[in-house]
Structure formats: structure tokens, C-alpha cells
Amino acid sequence: MSGEVITIFVGQAGAQLATFYWELLCTEYGIKTNGFLYESSIVVDPTTQAFFTEKAISGYKPLTLIVDLEPTAIDKIKIGNYKCLFDEKCLIHGFEDAANNYAKGYYTVGREMIDLVLCHIRRIYETCCNLQRFIIFRSSGGGTGSGFTTLLLEHLTEIYPKVSKMDFTISSTPNLSMIKVEPYNAMLTTCGSLAYEDCCFILENESLYDICKKKLNIGLVTYTNLNRLQAQITGNMITSMLSKDVNGGPNARLDDLRKILVPYPRVPFSIIAYSPLTTPSLAAYSDLSVYQLMQECFQPDNQVVKCDCRTGAYISGCLLYNGDVSKNDISKALVDSKGKLYPQFVDWTPSSFKIGINDRPPLTISNGDLDATKRNVTMLSNNTAIKEIWTKLVDNCGLLMRTKAFYHHYLSEGMEEAEFFDSLNNISTLVDDYRLIES
């Protein structure tokens, strides 16, 4: 059996994503909204046990925790279509939000809830035979997603030092956000990612928005569209890694991602690209070949992050295929792509991508914006171009810090002024690290 994965959805962004994520997995494994199997379903895939625990009375229950410091988003789950799927003990909320303040989530309000959250994580952990990884979904711009997640990661590292931690972070996007202190929150929590995480995948609402608008032709893009898209991309990636080894063998472990994508701890941040981005109305005309799928993944508009990998150097990467794909097709595509698709690699690493194949059809959310296709590919890469995100973050935080703007909101919660400067220096050093890798 594949090892278990405990998913933790933090803050409003995480809670809103959770419903779509579990809708996707329930559809994949033939599980109804109440946790029981459809009569026609025969679950033979051992990876089911990686996400769910089976109970005789209540059916399949997700190995998950959904936590927010205020009740609104959690209450919506409790009255939603999947209210009977989740164990009530896995839905945790407080009664005072973090007010978009990292310090509230880390120093004050978050500390009032951390023991309760850790208690429920321990309860889930004790039901696992071979816990493989914690996977966290959150936003870095809000107070709960930034501050409380950092506090949680700190404790998880102390209590479960041998269990890896993977993070899907919706990054700060000033062009779409109305939160003035979002750069502060993102800067402070990024330092926590560097200290406590094994692998972090960055997603940006602006990139997801552009995909919905330009690729999927959605007139009025809502957070529902963004969450469905994010759930489908991340869900396909995770189930693919659990189903097949990146070298083609059985019983893959998500730990392979850390070995492939993160050469050393200072650069744990990776980029996701996905293909095909196809609407139901165009699906009949877009049966892309393996080579065409690969070609699209190297285009910036198929990435969920605003940076151009063609301007940077690849440190590492892997291509995860789902569906009707053969090894011969991939081998031919790799040969055809030499000198055409592959940009620059750093000179101290092999100039190639690891390949993973999962013959199960791609996951699709019902009534979603992406159409069901015969095959898809998710490209995961560690590229020095991601330093563009941190460069912008340093610039935005620097502008605020010159006048000590909004400092009082953080200092009044017990945070020290020196932490701003230490964090800014840490992110600036991260940018320098990427520049050194390129040289």
C-alpha cells in the first residue's frame, strides 16, 4: 500500500479550495458525498488508502484537516454538499480572525488554537500505518495562511521531524489584491517556508485568472473558477506521483519530488505548468500529441506563476503524464524536443527531465471549466526565473518599510521590529542564491 498523505487546508483560501479538491478525489475513486461507494464502484487502486480511511459505519473519511481562525468558511463546508463526507473533528475554527495580519496568526490568535489543531493532527496520525507526507494548502497573503501556517509548520517539524512537508501556496499578487500589508505577510511566511518545508509549489491568483480569462474564455472569473482550476491541477499532480514512480516503477513515494526538485534546502520553490488547458466546447478539436503537450508546458501562459522560465536556468524538473500515453511516445517526444524546447540548464546538473507515467485517465471536476481529456501532463520545475517573484516582493516590502508603514499592526501583537529587517535580508539572500546558481 502507498503511504498515507495528510492534507491540511489553512485559512479562508484553503477552506474554499478543500471542497473542490475532495470533490475531485471522490469522483476519481467512486465515493459519494456521504462517504460511501457508489454501487457500481469497485475500488482496486491502493492509492485510495493514501487519501481516505475506511470506517464500517460512516464509509470513507478523508485524511484531512481544514482549519481557519474564524468560522465563516468552515460553516459553509458544514452546510455544503460534502458536509457528510468530513469528520466533524476535522473541521476546526476559532472565533477571531487574523485580520490579514501575520503577527496575529503567529503570535496571538493562532497560539490560542495551535494545541487543538495539533491534537487533531495527532489523532489522524495514529490512524496511519505509514504516513508519507503532510501537504498544506494556503495563501501567503492573509494572516491565517501566513502566520498560523508558519506556526503550524514549526510545530510539525518539531513533533514529526521525519515526515516531509509539501506546501501549495497561493502567492502574493499586488495587481489583484486590496490588502496593503500582503507583501509583509508574504515576506514573513516565506522565511518560514525556507526553514520548515521540504518542497513548496507557488501558485498565483493572477496567473490562474489569466488562464481562466484567456485560455478558458471565462467572461466573469470568480474564486470558484480559480479554486476549481487549482484543485484539478494539484490533484492530477499528487495522484500521478502516488500511482507511478517518476522512473516508471510501481509504488511511487512523494518523497521523490524532494530528491528531484530540491537540490539543497535554500531553493525549495518550484513552478507548475499544465497542459492541455481545454474547454469542453473545444475538446473535440484539441486532441494534442505527447510532444504538443510537452511544448505547451514550456510556454509561460501555461504556468501558474508569473515568471518566464525562458529567461532563467533549469535546476531540475519532471514531466508527469496521465492517461493514454506510452513510453515510446514520450521517448520520441524527448528526442524531437532536443534543441527546440529545452532552454538552458545550470551546468552542474543533468540536462534532462524525469518522466512519470500514470495510465489512469486525467482527473476532472464535474461541471468544471476544464474538459475531460485522454491525456495530460503536469510539468514541475525548479527554475532560477522564480527569483522574479522574490525580487518584486523585496521591492514592495522595501517601499513599505522605508516609512515603517503599518508597523504598529504587527508590533502591537508582540512582534519585534527587527523581524521585518531579518526577513527582508533573508529574501534578498534568496534572490542572490538564485543569481549565484545561474552564474
Give per-residue pLDDT as tens, 260-269: 899 888 899 9
Whether residues 117 and 160 fall in one domain: yes
> Looking at residue 251, what is its pLDDT?
33
Q: Percent of the chain, pLDDT > 70?
A: 91
pLDDT score of 258 more than 90: no
Average pLDDT over residues 152-169: 96
CA pair distance 314, 295, nearest whole angstrom: 16
Last residue of a domain, one of 203, 238, 270: 270
Q: Which of 86-95, 112-121, 168-177, 220-229 has the lowest mean pLDDT?
A: 168-177
Contact in structure between 381 and 273 (CB atoms under 8 Å):
yes
> How large is the average pLDDT for residues 360-384?
86
Per-residue pLDDT of 268-300, as tens digits, reads 999 999 999 987 766 555 678 888 998 999 899
Measured between alpha carbons, how far is residue 374 from residues 44, 228, 288, 303, 332 in Å? 21, 19, 9, 21, 19
Tell whether 172 and 220 lie within a shared domain: yes
Give the phi and the psi of residue 357 in degrees, each rounded to 5.
-130, 125
CA distance 147 to 150: 5
**Which residue segment(s) compose the domain that 407 sits in?**
389-438
Average pLDDT in the chain: 88
CATH number at residue 407: 1.10.287.600
What average pLDDT does the segment 96-122 reach?
97
For residue 108, pLDDT beyond 90? yes
Of 253, 270, 287, which residue sits at a domain end? 270
CA distance 12 to 169: 13
**Same domain, yes or no: 141 and 82:** yes
Write down the pLDDT at residue 284. Answer: 53
How many angstroms separate the Cα of 209 from the Cα of each of 10, 154, 200, 303?
A: 21, 32, 21, 11
* Same domain? 266 vs 324: no
Domain shared by 254 and 280, yes or no: no
Q: Which residue has the higher pLDDT, 31 or 175?
A: 31
- Looking at per-residue pLDDT, the higher value among 315 and 240 belongs to 315
If asked whether residues 290 and 404 sit together in one domain, one would say no
pLDDT value of position 234: 93
Give the Å distances, CA to CA, from 268 to 168, 242, 263, 355.
12, 20, 8, 20
Q: Pick the most confident of 214-223, 353-362, 426-435.
A: 426-435
- On whether both 301 and 249 belong to a single domain, the answer is no
Q: Helix, strand, or coil here: 308?
A: coil
> In the listed set 222, 242, 270, which residue is the last one of a domain according to the structure?
270
Q: Is the per-residue pLDDT at 334 higher than 90?
A: no
Confidence of residue 30 (pLDDT cuts 50, 70, 90): confident
Q: Is 313 in the same domain as 377?
A: yes
Do 426 and 372 lie in a common domain?
no
Same domain, 183 and 228: yes
Q: What percent of the chain has pLDDT over 90?
A: 61
**Distance (Å, rounded) from C-alpha 321 to C-alpha 332?**
14
> What is the rounded average pLDDT of the residues 41-59?
76
Calculate mean pLDDT across residues 204-219.
Answer: 92
Three-state SS for 285?
A: helix
**Residue 16 reports pLDDT greater than 90:** yes
Average pLDDT, integer, range 147-163: 97
pLDDT score at 368: 78
- What CATH number is associated with residue 127? 3.40.50.1440
Q: Are residues 94 and 239 in the same domain?
A: yes
- 405-427 pLDDT, tens digit each: 999 999 999 999 999 999 999 99
DSSP 2: P
Q: What is the dihedral of CA 83, 86, 87, 91, to 10 degrees?
A: -80
pLDDT in tens, 235-257: 988 887 775 444 444 334 556 77
Number of domains in the chain: 3
For residues 172-200, give the mean pLDDT. Answer: 89
Q: Do 108 and 19 belong together in one domain?
A: yes
Residues 6 or more apart whose Cβ sits within 8 Å of residue 336: 291
Q: What is the mean pLDDT of residues 335-348?
A: 75
CATH of the domain at 380: 3.30.1330.20
Using DSSP, state whether 145 is helix, strand or coil: helix
